[in-house]
Chain A
Amino acid sequence: MDRRQTAVNTPAQADPSLAEFDTTKLLRNASRQAQDRNYKDFFICDVDSHHYETEAMGEILEYIDDPVLRHLGLSSGNVGRSGLLAQPIGSQDMAGRVNRYPGRKFEKTPEKPHRDITMAHRWMDSLGVDLACLFPTPMLLLSTHPQPDVEVAMARAYNRWLCERILEEDPRICSMVYLPLNEPEAALSVIEEFHHRKGVTGFLVTSNQKRPIHDNVNMPVFARLEELGMPLGLHAIYNWADQSLAQTNKFISVHALGFTFCNIIHMTNWLMNGMPERFPKLKTIWIESGLAWIPFLMQRLDNEYMMRTSEAPLLKRKPSDYMREMFYTSQPMEMVNNAEALELTFKMIDAENQLMYSSDYPHWDMDLPSTIYDLPFLSETAKRKILGENALKVFGVEPVMSDWKLKAQKA
């Protein structure tokens, strides 16, 4: 058998223009969609988008309180060697096939505003997004870090950097900031430090926690968020070290299952332990698990609940009744070729009132606003709610329109 290496394209060979990579150019077909669909008259909020905070890690590390950890991060010259962030395994960019991953480092930006703001505005303007809720990328795995003090220090430093360098500077970017729920006392102090900061619309836990979500130690944190009226976001991730996911051998497998599995576990615990009855005003947002898992879990839990009602004594209604009152982000929306299945899913989750558009840009499975806008079974009112108005209500913020839309409205 011939075992020689077959020559194949590297991203740079296949596309020398990567050296002049430009998000606006990559997304010009998205801009055309925005024009064709008249998004100038639509307020669009993206409830789950990302940046690569590792690109600004030198700045972020400066915000660490602990001088030894700060020195550790800054002295080693790169995050990988410092051990301050967990390093995910898996080829998100499909070996360069999704070229914005290798290309972004070549993208030129002016000195001001901050590069993260310029990069965000480029994709936001192309997609037609007015307000983006921005989350980190590698730090989504921070909750798996074995050192609790590192998780807390990094969470605080990142939140401070984000508030000061990005949210203060730009009205079109908001965030639900990192909540180190593995350390509930620290989580409470993070809430106190950041809940009033400009652009902070809630708090985010990544869906891989060392304790179950319903653990009693978490209750003061949920009580405080409820009191403040701020939503709790549960952002899915995959954790290849998870016992059942460890049996998968492909990124497609661990990603497809992991991103729903973690929220399925949290949601089941949340319901069976009566959390919606204990914190009836606490809004929860279930992020980046797609939509197909919701009808599955509604059916599964309702069916068992009817037989084993006494095992969930805090519940006063069926699990699906509570789930229908929670909030969900749309991406990655499955079944786009099966409108019938999608329509039923939308009905089952009361999407018109509970669903919020999200792109997940710049990640490889991002969704454009047209994934919602083009759905034939949605009314104009439903589209407006899902694409923006629901988010405004959940976050309690006013709409901020992008400049190009304001100009286009006047023209």
Chain B
Amino acid sequence: MQKFALDAKDVVEGKTSVVEVSGTEIGIALHQGKYYAYHNICPHQGGPVCEGMQMPRVTGEFTDSGSFDRHNFDTSEMHLVCPWHGWEFDVSTGEAIGDRSIKLKSFPVSQRDGKLYVEL
């Protein structure tokens, strides 16, 4: 069933908004124009995964000869970082970066008249 979550204007890129919908805490994130909604429970030890920082994927770059060059941030892939132990999850898929078979519980999001609804 679709339930009202919050106004779209209250969700900004880079910061997850956490709301309670019918007793379930849900984090809503905006990335590259699309909204994503996840249950605010981390599959690791149950931390409030949506309340942590959003961080871009960290990449490592090396030269043609194979020498390490530098680290970088790849902002095309943003991560939800669980504040309890730092597990990171891809905002656009909910997958854990260290093991993509582990996923956050996601909810479909739709937008109507500037309002966001989640399917519970």
Contact = CB atoms under 8 A, between A and B. Distances in A.
Q: Do A and B bind each other?
A: yes
Interface of A: 6, 8-9, 11, 13-15, 26, 28-30, 32-33, 94, 96-100, 364-368, 370-371
Interface string B13-43: 0110000000000000000000000000100
Interface of B: 14-15, 41, 45-48, 51-56, 72-73, 75, 81, 83-86, 88
A9 B83 contact: no
Contacts of B88: 97
Contacts of B56: 6, 8
A9 B12 CA distance: 13
B48 A26 contact: yes
Contact of A9 (B47, B54, B85): B54
Contacts of B83: 26, 97-100
A364 B86 contact: yes
A97 B46 contact: no
A364 B85 contact: yes
A97 B79 CA distance: 11
Given A9-B55, A14-B15, A15-B52, A370 B86 contact: no
14 contacts: A6-B73, A11-B53, A13-B14, A14-B52, A15-B15, A26-B48, A26-B51, A29-B48, A94-B86, A97-B52, A97-B55, A99-B52, A367-B45, A370-B45
A9 B79 CA distance: 12
- Please report whether the interface of chain B is mostly helix, strand, loop or mixed according to DSSP: loop
Nearest to A15: B53
A8 B48 contact: no
A366 to B, nearest CB: 7
Contacts of B47: 29
Contact of A365 (B14, B55, B85): B85
A394 B81 CA distance: 38
Nearest to B56: A8
A365 B81 CA distance: 14
A97 B53 contact: yes
Nearest to A14: B53
Contacts of A29: 41, 46-48
Given A26-B48, A30-B46, A96 B85 contact: no
B53 A9 contact: yes
A156 B47 CA distance: 38
A6 B72 contact: yes
Contacts of B15: 9, 14-15
A33 B42 CA distance: 13
A26 B84 CA distance: 8
Contacts of B86: 94, 97-98, 364
B46 A368 contact: yes
Contacts of A11: 53
B46 to A, nearest CB: 5
Contact of B53 (A26, A28, A96): A96
A176 to B, nearest CB: 25
Contacts of B46: 29-30, 32-33, 368, 370
A15 B51 contact: yes
Contacts of A28: 48
